Structure 1
Amino acid sequence: MAFITRCCTSALPSRRLLVWLLTCCLGLVGVARAENAELAALRVERADDGLFLTARVDFRLSPVVEDALHKGIAVHFVAEAEVMRERWYWYDQKAASAHRYMRVAYQPLTRRWRLNTSSEPLVNAGLGVSLAQNYDSLEEVIAAVQRIGRWKIAEPAELSGSGRHMLRFRFRLDGSQLPRTLQLGSVGQPDWVVSVERRIDLTQELGR
C-alpha cells in the first residue's frame, strides 16, 4: 500500500508537466502571436467589390533602429494577408493573398521623412510604382506605417465556393532589405524584431 502511494505521488509532477505542455501547445495554436508588437485592431469587411482589411499595429522602434534611420538607412515593413479555404479531404486551399510593402527613409536635404507604399517589393535600386508620402517627423511616419485602412485583400470571385474561410494576417519588419553588412549583425537580434501575427475564422467574423 505504501508502494502505491509513493508511485502516485511521484506521478503528479509528470501529470502537471503534461498539462503545462498541452497548455503551451494550445497557446501556440491560438488566434494571435506577437513579438515586440501588438495588433491593437483588426477588422474585415466584405463588399460588392471585394474583401477589405483595416488594422492597427502598435510597436515602438528600438534605439538601434531609430539610429539607423537617422543615419539614412531605409527600413522596410511588410503586411501580409492570406485567405485559406478549409477542405476536409485535402490540404487547405489558398483562395487569395495580398502584400503591402512599406519603406521608411530619412531625406537629409529636406529633413523630412518619406514613406513609399506598394503591392510589389520595394528595392533600393528603384522604387517602381509606389505611393510616396512625406512627413515632418519619425513619429508621424511610423504612425502611418502602423495604420492600414481599408486594404483590399481579395476579389469577390476568390471568396466564392463552400467551406470555411480562414484569414492569416502578419506584419513584420523586413530585415532582408537592410544593407548586407547590417543584415549580418542584425540576424537574431531582438532590436530588429518587429512581428505580429493573427489568424481568425473569416466565415464566423463576416457572419456577425
Structure 2
Amino acid sequence: MKYANADGIIVQSVKLEQNEATFSLNATFHIDLSPIIQEALHKGVSLPFVLDFNVIQQRWNIWDQTVVETSLPYRLSFSALTRQYQIKDKLRGRDASFDTLEQALIAAGVITDLVVFNAEQLKPEVEYEAQVRLRLEAGGLPSALQLEALESDKWEVSSPWYRWVMER
C-alpha cells in the first residue's frame, strides 16, 4: 500500500517479524526532498530523520494505551570535500557513504532488522495495532533554520502513519 506526498515520504512496504523473544521491523520508504532542503543539504546542513514506531492496545471502553514507543534517529549529510553523502546511525553504529543523493535517499529509506520491542511486552489474547512513520525532525535542524522550518511547509517532510493490526 502506498501513500503519496509531493516533496515528502511515501511508505512502500512494512513488515514486522517475530524472532524468538523480539520483534524486528523491516520497512521501505521513498524520500523526495524539496529543492530548498536539497540546497541546505549541499550547503552543509545535516538532515535529522526519525523513524517512529508504536504498538497500541485498542480498548473499547477507555482510551487506547500505547504499549511500545520506539524511535530511530539518524542523519543525512553531504561532504563538499569528498563530494559524498553520508548516513550516520549512531544508535545502531552504522555509517555509510554514497556518491549520489539518489543512492543516499534510497538507503535512508530502507530500515532492516530494527529490533523494536520484546515479545514479553505484549499480553496474550490481546489485539494490538502497530504504526510506523518516517519524518524529517525539524527540531534537530540548526537553530537558524528551525524558525524557517516552522514557518514554511517546504520543510515538512513526513510519511503519514502507516497502521495495521498485528498478527501473532
Cα contact 2:48–2:73 (8 A) shared by 1:
yes
Is 1:182 aligned to residue 154 of structure 2?
A: no
Q: Residue in 2 aligned with 1:54?
A: 26
Is 1:192 aligned to residue 143 of structure 2?
A: no
Cα contact 1:84–1:95 (8 A) shared by 2:
yes
Cα contact 1:87–1:163 (8 A) shared by 2:
no
Q: Residue in 2 aligned with 1:17?
A: none
How many Å separate the matches in 1 of 2:93 and 2:30?
24
- Secondary structure of the 2:154 match is helix
1:154 pairs with one of 117, 139, 143: 117
Query: Aligned residues, how many?
Result: 165
Amino acid at match of 2:98: Y
How many Å separate the matches in 2 of 1:47 and 1:160?
17
- Secondary structure of the 2:81 match is coil
* Identical-residue share of aligned pairs (%): 25
More strand by share: 2
How many Å separate the matches in 2 of 1:106 and 1:45?
33
How many Å separate the matches in 2 of 1:92 and 1:118?
32
**TM value normalised by structure 1:** 0.71
RMSD (CA atoms): 2.2
Cα contact 2:2–2:10 (8 A) shared by 1:
no
Cα contact 1:57–1:147 (8 A) shared by 2:
yes
**TM value normalised by structure 2:** 0.87
How many Å separate the matches in 1 of 2:61 and 2:2?
27
How many Å separate the matches in 1 of 2:96 and 2:82?
13
> Cα deviations across residues 140-177 of structure 1 (Å, max 9, x unaligned)?
11111111112111112112333111112121111111
Cα contact 1:32–1:199 (8 A) shared by 2:
no
Pair 58,32 (structure 1): closer, same or farther in 2 beyond 3 Å: closer
> Cα deviations across residues 158-203 of structure 1 (Å, max 9, x unaligned)?
123331111121211111111222111222423212111111111x
Q: Residue in 2 aligned with 1:114?
A: 86
Instruction: Structure 1: state its 5+ residue gaps.
Output: 1-30, 120-128
> Cα deviations across residues 24-80 of structure 1 (Å, max 9, x unaligned)?
xxxxxxx98764322111111122131111111113111111110110111111101
2:51 pairs with one of 60, 79, 83: 79
More helix by share: 1
Structure of greater Rg = 1
1:166 pairs with one of 123, 126, 129: 129
Cα contact 2:31–2:105 (8 A) shared by 1:
no
How many Å separate the matches in 2 of 1:155 and 1:178?
32
